Amino acid sequence: MKIFRYLFIVTAIVIAIASVWVTNVLVNGLKEEERKKIEVWAESLVLLMSQPEFEDLDKAVEEASNRYKSHLLNIIQDNTTIPVIVTDEAGNVADKKNIEVPEQDAEEYLKGKIKKFSNRHKPVEIKSIEDIKICVYYDDSTILKSLQLFPFVQLAVVFIFIAISFLALNSTKKAEQNRVWVGLSKETAHQLGTPISSLMAWVEYLKAKNMDSDLLTEIDKDVQRLKTIAERFSKIGSNADPEPVDLAEAVSHALGYMDKRISSKVTIQTHFPEESIDVLMNESLFGWVIENLIKNAVDAMDGQGLITVSAFAKGKKAVLDISDTGKGIPKSKFDAVFQPGYTTKKRGWGLGLSLVRRIIESYHKGKIFVHKSEVAKGTTFRIELRMI
């Protein structure tokens, strides 16, 4: 796959370079042709104006009758694309062609054009029969200007083509990853179903044997927990069916389970407002998010420290902050921590935060990001959901 990707990039670059080179050759050739045309045009103008019976170009145009004069006149009139300004020895404008001159400040406008033309092309200097020198200033024709812009247009098209191709490849790759992810999740849920059913039956059997009720209660909680996990996996790739839930209440439920299953050296503090913060959510999947974030916080603190969970309303958004006093995350890794496969642990696949982002963004239409973090001081993850 990578070989084809690199081959595609190299091919696109070669096409772009070849296109620019060919266009450049054409532009240079056309430039030379236009200069020769202007030289012929200037010589024709001098010859036509040198006829003794004509005092100026306008009279020549009106009264030229013989074939020679008509031929010269046709050469001059055939120039309909190249802007031209003709000046006398004193630098005064004697004639112009293919230039729209404003009614006001026409002289200044033409002087500006002469300066602009001379910067682009060396003027053509011609002497008449009477040894009068005239200068012909000219600019590139509309066709030549268009041709000069053509390679940039081509490059833009090539880059757009490359960008669209990469987006298509990435989209295909993501779609394939999603299919694998959904398939793996549903298969996991299916495989968990049988042993969970068996464990539930064993719990009921032990209850009938009058076993220690406290012990059986905890076992039953863990069995129900396994059942919840299986349900979560089965919902991946399906509609989440969100319902109105108080954010603080949903978080409290998730923390209630985690509180007894993390290190006793970890303290969890909560800061929830008195008024409810109602959001649309799938509580089962959202609980998975909270548990992942709490587990990550515990790992970041090496099993001891303080975790602070705060919920509050901010405009039309419900905000949940989960802070720890752990190792922290470098600013350059704020986005990378959510990428599949990213992990700082010796064990694990690095799918926890990737799953968290997927649940928040895809199923709850919210946002999750690293709000702030300092190395060796701690990290705050922020979740934003729409209030109802």
pLDDT tens figures, 172-186: 777 766 676 667 777
Gap between the Cα atoms of 256 and 260, Å rounded: 7
Asked if pLDDT for residue 64 goes beyond 50, the answer is no
Give buried/exposed letters for 327-358 (b at 16+ CB in 10 A, else e).
bbbeeeeeeebbeeebbeeeeeeeebbbbbbb
How many Cβ atoms sit within 10 Å of the Cβ of residue 90? 6
pLDDT tens figures, 323-352: 999 999 999 999 989 887 777 765 555 568
Gap between the Cα atoms of 270 and 8, Å rounded: 53
Contact (Cβ atoms closer than 8 angstroms) between residue 214 and residue 177? no
Gap between the Cα atoms of 379 and 324, Å rounded: 6
Q: Which amino acid is at 213?
A: S
User: Which CA distances in Å does 268 have to 244, 263, 307, 309?
Assistant: 26, 11, 5, 7
Contact (Cβ atoms closer than 8 angstroms) between residue 247 and residue 278? yes
Nearest Cα neighbor of 309 from 373, 355, 252 is 252
**Nearby residues of 257 by Cβ (< 8 Å), 6 or more positions away:** 221, 225, 287, 291
Contact (Cβ atoms closer than 8 angstroms) between residue 24 and residue 150? no
pTM value > 0.85: no
Asked if pLDDT for residue 55 goes beyond 80, the answer is no
Q: What is the mean pLDDT of the chain?
A: 80
Percent above pLDDT 90 for the chain: 25
Gap between the Cα atoms of 342 and 332, Å rounded: 13
Calculate mean pLDDT across residues 201-206. Answer: 85
Q: Which amino acid is at 355?
A: L
Rounded to 5 degrees, what are φ and ψ at 372?
A: -160, 155
* The token pair that represents 202 in the structure block: 């064993």
Sign of the CA dihedral 168, 172, 174, 178?
positive
**Nearby residues of 380 by Cβ (< 8 Å), 6 or more positions away:** 321, 322, 323, 370, 371, 372, 373
Pairing of strands 305-314, 266-271: parallel
| pLDDT top residue among 262 and 174 | 262
pLDDT tens figures, 288-324: 899 999 999 999 999 999 999 999 999 999 999 999 9
Contact (Cβ atoms closer than 8 angstroms) between residue 274 and residue 334? no
Nearest Cα neighbor of 289 from 360, 380, 367 is 360
pLDDT tens figures, 71-91: 545 555 656 677 888 888 788
Contact (Cβ atoms closer than 8 angstroms) between residue 199 and residue 248? no
